Amino acid sequence: MTASIERGSAFADYHLCATSYDNAIDGRMKARITKRVAAVPDTETVTPMSDELRVPQPTDESIRSMLVTLERDADLTLSPIERLFLATDGTVTHMLEALTRGDVSVTILDRSVADSRLFRTVALVPDTEQNPLVWARSTIRLSSLADSVADELVDGEIGIGDVLREECTETRREIVEMNVHSAANRFPSFVESDAVCLLERTYQIYTADTRIMTITEYFPKDRLSTYRTQ
């Protein structure tokens, strides 16, 4: 009988210690989770770029489904190279250099600053080509960038990806839209191409949870694919 009481008492002591330990762990976990949630900025507080004509909103749609939808709605077939260029979150200038096995120059077509925004249009021209293979239009929020990055974008002659990498700026890119732009509906004024249509994609560049750039790129349909056997 005495042994049973002692065993019961020991079990009660063990249960009390275990419960106290679990509560302590639970308390630390709750504190850790609360701290982690509090450290994540509210992405809804990002101020839209009001001076842009239209800012596409981020989508939950996967890149693969965006490509499938584009082919279906536009009734066309994208080549593997075209799918890669539309889907990449890397630097298009470097992809062109790898594709063409040559240097690619960034030609500034137009550049202006208004209300702390830089509006820039460029053409990417490989040294193997006389005409551009990619055109891009950018709206850049200068106030959200380091002075060295902003100065290089306003006055420099290199691509955005190279500027961000050279300045060691940590960013991420989010593709928000893909389209086909028909010549029948007129290309953007800065695009000079005899292509039947342009492949178009828009992506946004973020640092932390602040959107700093919105970029739309245009590729002449079928032109990139001519390099697949070269």
The verdict on residue 48 lying in a domain is: no
Quick one: 68 and 12 in the same domain? no
pLDDT tens track for 53-66: 455 555 557 999 99
Whether residue 65 sits in one domain with residue 35: no
Is there a contact between 133 and 224 (Cβ–Cβ < 8 Å)? yes
Range of 213's domain?
Answer: 54-227
pLDDT at 185: 84
pLDDT at 60: 58
User: Which of 168, 133, 139, 171 minimizes the C-alpha distance to 153?
Assistant: 139
Q: Tell whether 33 and 63 lie within a shared domain.
A: no
Statement to judge: residues 181 and 222 lie in one domain: yes
Residues 36 and 103 in one domain: no
pLDDT at 175: 94
Q: Does residue 49 sit within a domain?
A: no
Domains identified in the chain, total number: 2
- Condensed to tens digits (0 to 9), the pLDDT of residues 144-170 reads 888 988 998 999 888 888 888 877 678
- The reply to whether 15 and 76 lie within a common domain is no
Residue 226 Ramachandran class (φ > 0 left, ψ -120 to 50 alpha, else beta): alpha
Q: What pLDDT is recorded for position 29?
A: 34
Average pLDDT over residues 86-102: 92
CATH for 131: 3.40.1410.10
The answer to whether residue 164 is domain-embedded is: yes
Q: Kindly state whether residues 11 and 103 are assigned to the same domain.
A: no
Q: How many CA atoms lie within 13 A of 174 on its CB side?
A: 18
Same-domain pairing of 129 and 181: yes
